[in-house]
Structure 1
Amino acid sequence: MSGRVVVITGASGGIGAAVARRLGAEGASVVLAARRREELEAVAAESGASALAVPTDVTVRAQVEALRDAAVERFGRVDVWINNAGRGITRPALEVTDEDLDEMMTINVRSALYGMQAIVPHFVERGSGHLINVSSFLGRVPIATQRSAYNAAKAALNALTANLRVDLADAHPGIHVSLVMPGVVLTEFAANARGGPIAGGPPPGPMKPQTAEEVAEVIAGVIAAPRADVYTNPVSPEMARRYYDDVEAFEAQVRAARAAVPR
């Protein structure tokens, strides 16, 4: 990890901050982006002597491009770009408003697309680079129904990531594109969801919450040994397999588990 230049969005807290601290401790030069200046600068102070905080609204294309330029100006290049910024929602599908859907798509998809379009030409010019999009298990197995539009946005991000990887694979084999899908993670994400936290906490099931540091460890591993598609929670692959083997049976089990929880 030593010597690599890594840009991380959504780095003022949660997974992004944990990744910044982890990579900075291993000798990477990290460039941190988020809207909250004070929190961002605090994370930068904990992420190595070369860490650079760049307050950025990733929903504005020009600011994402300015983030890339700031990283290149300071360090001469970018080796890894991690699109981590995102926000959840607590709203069943039939209650989702236009504003809800617009915000979910803007924060979770459009911001990542801006990052992809900003950094990939730089990677192409250099002949190497690694793009990592942080999605969610719910983008593949949308079982938390209150997350509705968030699940949909992450599914869109999954598709864009796969499309880009296929487009680049033959002509630019030195560029890696990875999708990382955390499950339940112990951060402020749920509390900051549009509509507030889910009543009663996460849905019942075998997926135990992870810490942001555990997810950061997985992401560090993906940087060290690039892979296309990564779940961070050990039970996620089997849950996904069961879901796609028999969607109706899987959903019935989810409903039964929810019904058994005292309310």
Structure 2
Amino acid sequence: MSHRDFSEQVVVVTGASGGVGAAVAEELARRGASVVLAARRAGPLGDVARRCGSQALAVVADMTKRDDVQRLFDEALARFGRVDIWINNVGRGIGRPLLEITDDDVDAMIRDNLKSVLYGMQVVTPHLQARGTGAIVNVSSLLGRIPLPPRAAYAASKAAMMSLSEAFRMELAGSHPHLRVVVVYPGRITTDFGRNALGQPTAPSARLPAEALAAVSGAPQTAEEVAHVVCDAALNARGDVYTQPDASTHVRAYQEKQS
């Protein structure tokens, strides 16, 4: 198996009915994976599964509900006998000034961006531990590293996901060194994600710190470009992966400026 080949790999992708999730699913199928695709929207999810071919299973499920996540795993096991890689891609944005953030906004960000990831990790990990190998890939955002207004609540939920992932990575390192916990950090992407966010989408302000502005002002990537990075990370990466070539440099510069 080459470093880009997913033949004989079973991969679960959540949030797979559109955007990055759909692009990841189709890229995995092209590389030979058997894919289990989850989302709430049955119609679009079925369309993606058909494009992925006969080795695709579509499961209509809400990843913010623990029972649905368990059912997704159970259906993957029933169809393919195992799971090799689990990609947590569900998420939701928000654009709201900090003083206008409501309790419901905070609850939605934690539910959609943190609990969905936590449930996925908790459900699949015992299976991966028993097999002694595998990977969990959590799709985050550059805003989890460089928080920007008016997306403070979204950035906070992604930073929480980052901490959850890093702590779990350390937790597994001693007992299960061949299990990988990978976090992928995309920047701006040309999808409908922003249109589906709570609040109003807002362009980056020129008054932002130079390091932060540099990180978010580059050319946006397509979902397909991000999917290539996510798939490569799912096969080989350990730790954090940025989808844009200069992103890690901007993150380091920002963090040094804050210290």
TM-score (norm 2): 0.92
Is 1:169 aligned to 2:183, yes or no? no
Deviates more, 1:217-226 or 1:167-176: 217-226
1:27 and 1:21 map into 2 onto residues whose CA distance is 10
- Structure 1 residue 221 displacement after superposition: 1.1
Is 1:246 aligned to 2:257, yes or no? yes
Q: Any conservation in 1 of the 2:50–2:56 contact (CA below 8 Å)?
A: yes
Render the CA deviation track for 1:140-163: whole Å, top value 9, x for unaligned. Answer: 1112x1111000000000000001
Render the CA deviation track for 1:75-134: whole Å, top value 9, x for unaligned. Answer: 000000000000000101111000000000000001100000000011011111100001
Q: Structure 2: any 5+ residue segments left out of the alignment?
A: 1-5, 206-212
Trace 1:90-101 onto structure 2 (pairs within 5 A): 90-101=95-106
- Partner residue of 2:63? 58
Render the CA deviation track for 1:134-192: whole Å, top value 9, x for unaligned. Answer: 1110001112x111100000000000000100000111012111010100011000000
Q: Any conservation in 1 of the 2:182–2:234 contact (CA below 8 Å)?
A: no
Q: Any conservation in 2 of the 1:82–1:134 contact (CA below 8 Å)?
A: yes
2:131 alignment partner AA: R
- Partner residue of 2:141? 136
2:200 and 2:97 map into 1 onto residues whose CA distance is 13
Q: Any conservation in 2 of the 1:131–1:176 contact (CA below 8 Å)?
A: yes
- Partner residue of 1:224? 235
1:220 alignment partner AA: C
1:232 and 1:50 map into 2 onto residues whose CA distance is 27
1:107 alignment partner AA: D
- In the TM superposition, structure 1's runs of 4+ consecutive aligned residues that sit over 6 Å from their partners are none
- Structure 1 residue 202 displacement after superposition: 4.7
SS in 1 for 2:219: coil
TM-score (norm 1): 0.91
1:127 alignment partner AA: G
1:94 and 1:235 map into 2 onto residues whose CA distance is 32
Is 1:149 aligned to 2:166, yes or no? no
1:55 and 1:63 map into 2 onto residues whose CA distance is 9
Render the CA deviation track for 1:190-240: whole Å, top value 9, x for unaligned. Answer: 000011422xx4556442200011111101111221221111111211110
1:213 alignment partner AA: E
User: Structure 1 residues 202 and 211, CA, compared in 2 at 3 Å: closer, same or farther?
Assistant: farther
Identity, in percent, stands at 51
Deviates more, 1:202-211 or 1:104-113: 202-211
2:63 and 2:75 map into 1 onto residues whose CA distance is 14
1:65 alignment partner AA: Q
Q: Structure 1: any 5+ residue segments left out of the alignment?
A: 249-263
1:208 alignment partner AA: A
2:121 and 2:91 map into 1 onto residues whose CA distance is 15
2:101 and 2:55 map into 1 onto residues whose CA distance is 43
- Partner residue of 2:188? 184
Q: Provide the alpha-carbon RMSD of the alignment.
A: 1.2
Trace 1:191-206 onto structure 2 (pairs within 5 A): 191-198=195-202, 201-202=203-204, 205=214, 206=217
1:216 alignment partner AA: A
- Partner residue of 1:256? none
1:167 alignment partner AA: E
